[in-house]
């Protein structure tokens, strides 16, 4: 069964550095999402992406964040200047779109644990 994949599994960076988190959604999916989960807390929405543009973003997703789909398979989240409070698990998710049939199920990747020192 196809799965969403993410790399790296763990990223350690210094405060102020840029990081890029990478995701490969399931191949026939058209909706893409980033969520984050601070240790011990709930999963929080960051951004959704469809048709090569952001469709919705949360208050967390400020100017330090950006997303990109550089080719037909990858979906990336960039944090330009990391802060200590950006330390979290970042999950990518994707959702299919079938002609004439709606589906709402989002499939999550394994996550990237970002540690900002």
Partner 1 sequence: GENVEQHPSTLSVQEGDSAVIKCTYSDSASNYFPWYKQELGKRPQLIIDIRSNVGEKKDQRIAVTLNKTAKHFSLHITETQPEDSAVYFCAASRGSSYKLIFGSGTRLLVRP
- Give me the residues that bind partner 1 (CB under 8 A), please: 31, 33, 35, 41-45, 48, 50, 55-56, 58, 91, 95, 102, 104-111
User: At its nearest, how many Å lie between partner 1 and the CB of residue 16?
Assistant: 27
Q: Which is nearer to partner 1, 7 or 17 (CB)?
A: 7
3-state class (DSSP) for residue 107: strand
Quote the least distance from Cβ 82 to partner 1, whole Å: 22
CB of 35 vs partner 1, minimal distance in Å: 8
Which C-beta is closer to partner 1: that of 41 or that of 81?
41
CA angle 90, 91, 94 (to 5 degrees): 150
Query: What is the SS3 assignment for 64?
Result: coil
Other Cβ atoms closer than 10 A to 64: 14
Query: ∠ CA(109), CA(48), CA(110), 5° rounding?
Result: 10
């Amino acid at each position: 069964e196809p799965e969403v994949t993410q790399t790296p599994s763990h990223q350690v960076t210094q405060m102020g550095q840029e990081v890029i988190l990478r995701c490969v959604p399931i191949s026939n999916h058209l909706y893409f999402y980033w969520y984050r989960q601070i240790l011990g807390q709930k999963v929080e929405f960051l951004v959704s992406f469809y048709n090569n543009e952001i469709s919705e973003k949360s208050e967390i997703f400020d100017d330090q964040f950006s997303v990109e789909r550089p080719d037909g398979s990858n979906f990336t989240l960039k944090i330009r200047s990391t802060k200590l409070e950006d330390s979290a698990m970042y999950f990518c998710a994707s959702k299919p779109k079938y002609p004439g049939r709606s589906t709402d199920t989002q499939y999550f990747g394994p996550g990237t644990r970002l540690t900002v020192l």
